[in-house]
Chains A and B, each alone.
Chain A
Amino acid sequence: MTLLSVQGLSKSFGGVAAARDVSFLLERGELLAIIGPNGAGKSTVFNMVGGQLRPDHGAVLLDGQNITAASPQKRFRLGVGRTFQVAQTFLSMSVVENVQMALVSCNGESSALWAPARTRHREEALALLEQVGMADVADRPCSALAYGDVKRVELAIALAGQPKLLLMDEPTAGMAARERADLMDLTARIADAKSIGVLFTEHDMDVVFGHAERVIVLVRGRIIAAGSPEEIRQNEEVRRAYLGDEHALEKPKGLSPA
């Protein structure tokens, strides 16, 4: 069954249409990128899939189940993990506690009042940190990490819910070029190994064309093109939309697709 099916999503803010009839599919293990110029409606679509926004029309189906009206919390329990444009972690906690917190929530223990949190699911949390390469700083305060590392911790938190679908909003924003490729390689590896579908928005075309298997292009709230990175690069309409930013669609150099 199709992992994520987005059907005819529309949303307008005070008469301005931010998304019009947006539909697409996402399979398990697939990396799908949403791109588009500023103000194209990427975040709107993304937040409707993530549950932060309620669409005016249309539906979001996860494994065939309609989750259009589900809260972010509900979506999490159904297997939707997400990362944020500006990494969101719990800065007052240590790295491993961040992941433990997600595991605690996952196991429905977040209202437990007795046994200390720091002893719960520690091994599992360390294993997740191992996967993202952060096990050696597990007991450091999260606030002391470099930004690139925080992004990795955030990925580990998102993975703690054993998601089927991972939503990543601008996953590489604010990172150095080398870090970007590393993070996306890591994401692709994990997505492949656990057969997680990944939906991400991205500004950096190197990341998009280097890692996405399929790309959707949004302009003024409407999908104008969808297809493989190669098809998108050739698409005339997309080229027009990105007029003046021709370089954005050039083939990346020195980076191999995942």
Chain B
Amino acid sequence: MDLSFLAIQALNGLSSASSLFITACGLTLVFGVTRIVNFAHGSLYMIGAYTAATLVPRLLELHFGPVTFWAGILASAIIVGLIGVLIEVLLLRRIYGAPELFQLLATFGVVLVVQDLAILVFGPEDILGPRAPGLRAPVEILGRRFPSYELVLIAAGPIVLGLVWLLLRKTRFGVLVRAATQDREMIAALGVNQALLFTGTLFLGAFLAGLGGALQIPRVSAHAGMDLSIIAEAFVVTVVGGMGSVPGAFLAALIIGQLQAFGILIFPKSTLVVVFLLMAVVLAIRPYGFFGRPEAVGGTHAVGIASSKRSPYAGLIALAVIGTGLSLPLIGDAYMLKVATEILIFALFAFSLQLLIGVSGVVSFGHAAFFGLGAYGAALSLKWFALPMEAALPAGLLLAAAGALLIGGFVVRLSGIYLAMMTLAAAQIIYAVAFQWVDVTGGDNGIVGVWPSAWASGQVPFYLFTLALVTIAVLLLMRIINAPFGYALRAARDSEARAEAIGLTIRRHRWLAFTISGAAAGLAGGLYAFSRGSVDPSLLGIPTSVDALTMLLIGGIQTVTGPLVGAGFLHVLRDQIMPLTSLWRLLLGLIIIAIVLVFPRGLVGTVRGWGEERS
């Protein structure tokens, strides 16, 4: 490799870094002030690209020269900024005080809504934007051609950094933003118009996202997958740089840009994993990123399971539920049993997450990792070692437990949003491995032919088998939640200081909880693999994690039975509505947002609240 090639490759990395920084900068600013990790930031980026790709060609037709191109880019960014304001006023404003989990899910709801809306507004086809006038021709650098537009992009990053720096240092708005980033309580004490500050920050954040997207149009066609692909990288940049730190984001973007430019030369087939591996390594060494500060974590008792009086009928009702479950094969057809089987499996999956979120206060955003590991563990032992289902299921469970043990070791050292991001990174790494280690995992085709043993292959026997395993697992988990171990987890969630002062080893307890939860999710994953006969990487993806969280949220995270009901509700809803509409994501997103805003206690919690009011 000669020098000129290395230089060009470094320039390529710089231009990616610039684009990434402009977008991530908005994300980190918004987080600094509002403490919300805005999943929808990627959606704003996408809207920016779509808007510019639609708007700029119309402007160029007016023939006012090259300036119209840049005016169009700026106008698109402003439009996106206004959309950000809309999101702030309609949604974020109502959830600033809510637990992180709710904030993450609500903004993910926005992602889903925007995905469908973008297709409705801009159409399903990719939109190719125009090239920048005057910047079509390449420039010669060290005897190689390099696009001149990329040079503009390389300059754009530092320019945006400089302007943001000026804004933060030299204006009153900037002073307030910095104050809020350092100490969220202080802003309230200063008697500042908080609403205006937050709205302004959202405008700035969304503007930067829109600008990041709009600047891409001479390189990329605007398309519907842009949101999730940028948000994953933007998360990595903000987390690695330290949440809320603009210079941190810049440094992280530079590193990631170079890592990607040179990474493809060394690992051309492992591109997905490199970025998340970087994030995991940084978090393992510096738990708050380059320039981040630990968040003061308060008690989060409000969002978890609390002690309640035991209903005298509890045992009876549990028996009745199990009885109904047992008699289902007598009344339902094969398809209903299939749906019921899947509901049971997802109920266990969501319930395993409840042990982490509702009981331990550990907000895992990558629980799909263990569901998927369980499924892959079962499928791989079936494929490579020809184990029967009876042995493959425990193998899946063990693989998931081992994965949770390993990941948990890193995760329990973190807290709050960094913890959520670490779990996300871990899940993405496993996803990338499953996706790209084709020889073993079958890549994105996955592994097929994962069917149950002969005795369980009918719909009825497999349903009953699932019912038995899920019932046992859920009862065991309930037992654990009510045992001293579960109480110790709740204690550490309610007050870490108090828990330490009475001698509880919080990390060890959480580690064990993480492992148990992973194992239970692994069992669910294994059952799911056999229920549908195949596994593939989508089981490990972010949508699967979000599914589990949504089930938890719908059911209510303050109740033990919430996840079971949530799983049933979401699955039936999906089953009934998805075939009827292509706007399923829009609907699901609205449901998530509505629950966060209107029924934060979930179905079970709300119903129980009515009961308490009456009595």
Contacts and interface: CB of A to CB of B under 8 A. Distances in A.
A–B direct touch in complex (beta carbons closer than 8 A) = yes
Interface of A: 50, 52, 71-74, 76-77, 81-82, 84, 88-94, 97, 100-102, 104-106, 109-118, 120, 141, 143, 154, 157-158, 160-161
A167 to B, nearest CB: 9
A158 B497 CA distance: 12
A72 B500 contact: yes
Given A91-B301, A93-B307, A105 B479 contact: no
Contacts of A112: 483-485
B501 A72 contact: yes
B488 A73 contact: no
A101 B488 contact: yes
Nearest to A77: B503
Closest 6 CB pairs of A and B: A88-B498, A76-B503, A92-B306, A117-B487, A90-B494, A110-B488
B9 to A, nearest CB: 41
A141 B307 contact: yes
B184 interface: no
B179 interface: no
A92 B504 contact: no
Given A88-B495, A110-B509, A73 B503 contact: yes
Measured as residues with beta carbon below 8 angstroms from the partner, the interface class of chain B is 20 to 34
A161 B503 contact: yes
B502 A161 contact: yes
B609 interface: no
A52 B501 CA distance: 10
Interface of B: 299, 301, 304-307, 479-480, 482-488, 490-491, 493-495, 497-505, 508-509, 512
A143 B484 contact: no
Contacts of B494: 89-93
Contacts of B486: 117
A73 B487 CA distance: 17
Nearest to A78: B503
Nearest to A167: B501
Contacts of A111: 484-485, 488, 508-509, 512
Contacts of A50: 501
B518 to A, nearest CB: 16
Contacts of B485: 110-113
Nearest to B310: A118
Nearest to B516: A113
B490 A93 contact: yes
A113 B483 contact: yes
Contacts of A90: 301, 490-491, 494-495, 498-499
B502 A105 contact: yes
B301 A106 contact: no
A89 B512 CA distance: 23
Given A92-B305, A92-B490, A92-B494, A110 B500 contact: no
Nearest to B503: A76
A91 B299 contact: yes
Contacts of B483: 112-117
